[in-house]
Amino acid sequence: MLKRSSTYFYNHPNLVLALLLGPPMLYMLVVYLGSLFVLLSNSFYYLEEFTGLIVREFSLRTYVQIFNPANREIFFRTATMAAVVTVVSALIAFPLAYYIAKFASRRLKTWLIIGVTLPLWSSYLVRVYAWKLILAKEGILAWFINVLHLDGALAWLLRFEGIGGSSLALSPIGMFIVFVYIWLPFMILPIQTALERVPGSLIEASSDLGARPFQTFRKVILPLAFPGVVAGSTFTFSLTLGDFIIPLALGNSKYFIGQAVFSYQGTGGNIPLAAAMTMWPVAIMIVYLLAARRLGAFDAL
């Protein structure tokens, strides 16, 4: 019986394809793209100011609203944070990913990858609040800085308009530290995977042809690892853009996109505006990926 059905499947490869792809495709279309579509269509409704009711008619009124100065500021604040977090994550992740991919022994590699992903095993909320304690005025980091007699430097840093605050936990700097910590694995793993696929002989060939290590890095390693960097930065960038827990737990009272969306759809009851605000990250990611393609990020795929 089993044999007969496998022979039947062998002779009907399209049926196999349909059976294998059907469920995930259905899920993608209904749940995944469907919800995005609902989001998009909601963003074209608007909130009637006087009645507080949502008018389900096509309108660009909400989109005009997301360009008002307050919302623009939220957007720039969030995008800047996401960009800085992404760049710094990439700078930290690359050497580590390179070491894991090209130098670590098989055994060490396993342990390093476990080490990188270990934080993901525990709750994100717990880790964010743990950082709130670490970064607090009386926290362990402040204590350590005190031991190193660097209080002056910390105070100087926290005095900066826009990124400072009364303590690390209540400043954008603290938020930035936590963002980088939380998203770093999502940067390390794609870069490591990309580097894993670069044959060692290419690196040898480059140095054989006279290139110094830095030239080899710029001309051979970086271009070939670039798709990994783009994949990783897509994660760090979009996750930072949409996050609302970290800005809620740390930092000052200034809103990020995620927080704005959270409060518009919740207490604000303005679902159209919340939906329109989430279109910001979507639009930015589309532009980002198009630019990356322009730069040839996907040529080597």
Partner 1 sequence: MPAIRFDQVSRHFGEVKAVDNVNLEIFNGEFFSMLGPSGSGKTTCLRMIAGFDRPTSGQIFLYGQEVSGLPPYERDVNTVFQDYALFPHMTVQDNVAYGLMIKGVSKAERVKRVEEMLELVRLPGFGARKPSQLSGGQRQRVALARALINHPKALLLDEPLGALDLKLRQQMQGELKAIQRRVGITFIFVTHDQEEALTMSDRIAVFNEGRIIQVGAPAEVYERPASPFVAGFVGTSNLVSGEAAKRIAGSEQMFSVRPEKIHRGSVNETPGPDMLWVDGLIRDVVYLGLFTRYMVEIEGGSDLVVVEQNLKTTSMDVLAARGQRARLSWHKDHISRVGG
DSSP state of 89: H
Among 248, 245, 199, residue whose Cα is nearest residue 220: 199
Q: Identify residues 278-297 at the interface with partner 1 (CB under 8 A).
A: 296
- When binding is defined by CB under 8 A, the residue of 62, 86, 89, 206 that contacts partner 1 is 206
Residue 108 binds partner 1 (CB under 8 A): no
| 72 binds partner 1, rule: CB under 8 A | no
- Among residues 271, 253, 289, 211, which one has the least CA distance to residue 74? 253
Nearer to partner 1, 26 or 291 (CB): 291
| Minimum distance of partner 1 from residue 235's CB (angstroms) | 23
Q: What φ, ψ does residue 137 adopt, rounded to 5°? A: -55, -40
Q: Which residues fall within 8 angstroms of residue 94, CB to CB, at 6 or more apart?
A: 191, 225, 229
Please report whether residue 199 would count as binding partner 1 according to CB under 8 A.
yes
In the complex with partner 1, the residue whose CB is nearer, 148 or 202, is 202
**Residues 186 and 124 sit within 8 Å (Cβ to Cβ):** no
What are the C-alpha distances in Å from 7 to residues 18, 21, 69, 280? 17, 20, 66, 51
Residue 69 or 199: the one with the smaller Cβ distance to partner 1 is 199
Q: Does 193 bind partner 1 (CB under 8 A)?
A: no
Q: How many residues bind partner 1 (CB under 8 A)?
A: 20
User: Applying CB under 8 A, which of residues 224, 248, 279, 285 lies at the interface with partner 1?
Assistant: 224
Residues of this chain that interact with partner 1 (CB under 8 A) are 199, 201-202, 204-212, 215, 219-220, 223-224, 296, 299-300
